[in-house]
Structure 1
Amino acid sequence: MVANWVSFNVIDTEKLDWAHDWSALKTFAEREAHARVPYDHKEGAYPLGQWIAEQRRAYGAGQMTGLRAQRLD
């Protein structure tokens, strides 16, 4: 019963962080009409270029599947 409560009531910060980062990428792509973010690019203080480089690396290495991979396609 406790495990069920925890699974429904604990915030998954990794998912929230990825959703926030994905949102920053969408904002960039809508503004620039592409998603080729330079490595040193920042959205405000957020290092979007570094984040997308890591996502591309994980995707290329086959370490990313599911919805995240679909969104990056």
Structure 2
Amino acid sequence: MALFPSRQDGARGWAKLRQHAEREGHARVPYGHEEGAHPLGQWVAEQRRACRAGQMSGLRARRMERLGMVWSPYEVAWEEGLTAARG
């Protein structure tokens, strides 16, 4: 069962992700983060899972990437650490 199965919940998640990205300058949302009462971090984790499982359209993935979606926060953190170590 999907965490947010309805189209309305998907639209709400998208809107909250957009708000977060506009405010923070990225869409790297921690798992426990909430936007208001919306569990945005959980919603983003579900989007990552759906993408890995091939259950997300390319159009939706590109739309999220335009907001700065980070599909693998661990990989980004590793690259940032490596860049800092080299500097």
What TM-score, normalized to structure 2? 0.63
| Counterpart position of 2:53 | 61
Highest relative contact order (Cα 8 Å, sep 6+), 1 or 2?
A: 2
* Deviation beyond 3 Å, 4+ runs, structure 1: none
Of 49-58 and 59-68, the range deviating more from structure 2: 59-68
Once the two structures are superposed, the pairs formed by residues 18-37 of structure 1 within 5 Å of their partners are: 18-37=10-29
Unaligned runs of 5+ in 1: 1-12
For the pair 1:40 / 2:32, whether they are aligned, the reply is: yes
Q: Structure 2, unaligned stretches of length 5 or more?
A: 66-87
TM-score (norm 1): 0.73
Count, aligned residues = 61
Alpha-carbon distance in 2 for matches of 1:67, 1:14:
19
Q: Which residue of 2 aligns with 1:50?
A: 42
User: Percent of aligned pairs with the same residue?
Assistant: 62
